[in-house]
Amino acid sequence: MGNTAQNTEVLALRRSPAHHLWTDFTVGSVAGERGVTLREIPFQRMVGIRVDPTSEAGTRIGELTGGLPLNSGDVTTGESGAAVLWLAPDEFLVVAPDDGEPGPSALVTSLLEALGYGAGQVIDLSSNRTTFELSGPSARAVLEKSCAADLHPRTIAAGTAITTEINKIPTVLFKSADETFQLFPRSSFADYLGRWLLDGMVEFAAEGTSWP
């Protein structure tokens, strides 16, 4: 789908699930040794895959994505920049940057072609979830207030993804760097989780940062 004037108008109307909180995220973020920042990464492409990674269809999909992870917590990345998160032995979540195109993505089309007539499924979940990125020296401390999982580096290293709960909200959590966590909550929980994380950040703004 080309970048026509009509497509540009459609894209301009898009609003992410937490768009109304962006100013609060900016104001609530904290710099310094106790710093922590929160932002939404809107409109990322997300594709759910169900396939046996050892099957012919799984092999074709793996060649397209840079490999399908085989163990709990594993994440693989391909040349396109897409990350493939392990959710179950035959279930994966592909997360890729926004391609700036309305409607079905080329990524979904390519994955469907790779699946072919093999057993499995490829589903566009881009509107199902959004992405929150929490980063900084205090990011883990904020999450540990309500995350059901052990987030100590000895348990979850950078490049690891897990399914967990944050204040009873089911969430896929991806530790993308040593001090950076990406959270993929369902869109319907975006407002609640965004406000919950902001509340958890307040104590780190106590020194030298005002809070409205």
Tokens of 104: 């079905």
Using CA atoms, how far residue 212 sits from 21, 23, 196, in Å, is: 14, 11, 16
Q: How confident is the model over 145-174, as pLDDT tens digits?
A: 999 899 999 999 999 999 999 999 999 999
User: Which residues, listed in sequence order, are joined to residue 124 by a DSSP beta bridge?
Assistant: 47
For residue 118, the model assigns a pLDDT of: 85
Using 50, 70 and 90 to split pLDDT, how confident is the model at 98? Answer: confident
What pLDDT score was predicted for residue 106? 85
- Does 9 have pLDDT greater than 70? no
Mean pLDDT for all residues in the chain: 90
The secondary structure element, H or E, covering residue 76 is strand 75-77
Most confident by average pLDDT, 11-15, 25-29, 75-79, 103-107: 25-29
Q: Which of 71-80, 84-93, 134-143, 162-171 has the lowest mean pLDDT?
A: 71-80
Average pLDDT of the residues in 34-60: 95
* pLDDT the model gives residue 210: 45
User: What's the pLDDT at 8?
Assistant: 64
Mean pLDDT across the stretch 43-71? 94
Q: In terms of pLDDT, which residue wins out, 6 or 77?
A: 77
Phi/psi for 4 (5° steps) reads -80, 170
Rounded Cα distance between 212 and 200, Å, is: 15
Q: What is the pLDDT of residue 39?
A: 98
Domains and CATH numbers, the chain: 17-42+130-205 (3.30.1360.120), 43-127 (3.30.70.1520)
For the residues of 90-149, what is the DSSP string, one character each?
Answer: TEEEEEE---S-SSS-HHHHHHHHHHTTSS-EEEE-TTTB-EEEEESTTHHHHHHTTBSS
Q: What average pLDDT does the segment 80-108 reach?
A: 86
Q: What pLDDT score does 87 carry?
A: 96
pLDDT higher than 90, residue 208:
no
State the DSSP string of 133-166.
EEESTTHHHHHHTTBSS---TTTS-TTEEEEEEE
